[in-house]
């Protein structure tokens, strides 16, 4: 369908700050000021952001409980030539937040979709962890109950650095489970309140991190960065070396 090309319809995925409001980009502000409609995970939270930057545009609630019921009407508005911006409470929509479904359906309908670069908790936590970040896997939130142990067992031999999201009341439990599967000495960086006043990195072994958060009650938003399996890395390096020697 070519409707969007003539009417300049566009679906924008717009990252918003995970902490400091100054982290928002100039381009994000421009898109929000010009959008015909802003889809917000929580209109109250996004309303505070828009008010801070004196942005007055129509907003509509768009979250995991209503996205399947509302997505078709949103696509119809896009096909009619509107520009729609999607924001979540914090970070980049689609990363453990609503955004994927509307992006997929807009693309299927022939509407142009663009994601602005910007705030996310994953990258600062990973890069600030001090762990290898050339290759990593993002696991987001692990299943709370069913499938949690199975997924962890699948990751036991993962050679890449692993990134997890976790709620404060499950941080201690998560660290205990990581120790059971990965071992107490596996390196970790527990990142708390990224880009906020009380930002904190607790780096060390899983055992040391567990001791810290057993003594200090976890509060705020958490990203846990766990080092990959060294044994698998060593085997991988050995294979590469052997292959190089064979070639030479």
Write the pLDDT tens digit of every residue in 224-241: 999 999 844 443 443 343
Which pair of structure tokens corresponds to residue 133? 């970040």
The model's pTM is 0.85
Tell me if domain 3-115 and domain 122-233 are identical in fold.
Answer: no
As its CATH architecture, domain 3-115 has 3-Layer(aba) Sandwich (3.40)
- The segment with the largest mean pLDDT, out of 1-15, 22-36, 225-239, is 22-36
pLDDT (average), residues 7-24: 92
pLDDT at 14: 98
Phi-psi region of 30 (alpha: psi -120 to 50; beta: other; left: phi over 0): alpha
The sign of the CA dihedral 79, 5, 109, 70 is: negative
Tens digits of residue pLDDT in 173-202: 999 999 999 999 999 999 999 999 999 999
* CATH number for domain 122-233, candidates 3.40.50.300, 3.30.950.10, 3.40.190.10, 3.90.1310.10: 3.30.950.10
The sign of the CA dihedral 87, 29, 129, 239 is: positive
pLDDT beyond 90 at 100: yes
pLDDT tier for residue 115 given thresholds of 50, 70 and 90: very high
CA–CA separation, 2 and 14 (whole Å): 24
pLDDT beyond 70 at 97: yes
The domain limits of the chain are 3-115, 122-233
pLDDT beyond 80 at 4: no
Nearest to 116 by CA among 138, 86, 140, 160: 86
pLDDT beyond 50 at 11: yes
CA–CA separation, 4 and 39 (whole Å): 19
């Amino acid at each position: 369908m070519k409707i969007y090309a003539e009417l300049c319809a566009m679906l924008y995925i717009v990252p918003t700050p995970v902490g400091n409001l100054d982290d928002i980009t100039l381009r994000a502000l421009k898109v929000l000021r010009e959008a015909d409609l802003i889809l917000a995970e929580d209109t109250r939270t996004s309303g505070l952001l828009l008010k801070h930057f004196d942005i007055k545009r129509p907003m509509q609630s768009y979250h995991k409980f209503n996205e399947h019921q509302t997505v078709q009407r949103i696509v119809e508005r896009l096909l009619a030539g509107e520009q729609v911006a999607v924001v979540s409470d914090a970070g980049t929509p689609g990363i453990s937040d609503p955004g994927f479904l509307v992006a997929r359906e807009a693309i299927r309908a022939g509407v142009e979709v663009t994601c602005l670069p910007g705030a996310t908790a994953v990258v600062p936590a990973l890069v600030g962890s001090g762990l290898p970040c050339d290759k990593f896997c993002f696991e987001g939130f692990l299943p709370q109950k069913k499938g949690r142990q199975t997924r962890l067992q699948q990751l036991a031999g993962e050679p890449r650095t692993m990134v997890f999201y976790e709620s404060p009341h499950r941080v201690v439990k998560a660290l205990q489970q990581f120790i059971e599967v990965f071992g107490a000495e596996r390196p970790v960086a527990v990142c708390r309140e990224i880009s906020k006043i009380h930002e904190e990195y607790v780096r060390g072994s899983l055992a040391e991190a567990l001791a810290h958060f057993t003594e200090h009650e976890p509060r705020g938003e958490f990203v846990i960065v766990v080092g990959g399996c060294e044994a698998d890395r060593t085997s991988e390096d050995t294979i590469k070396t052997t292959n190089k020697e064979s070639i030479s």
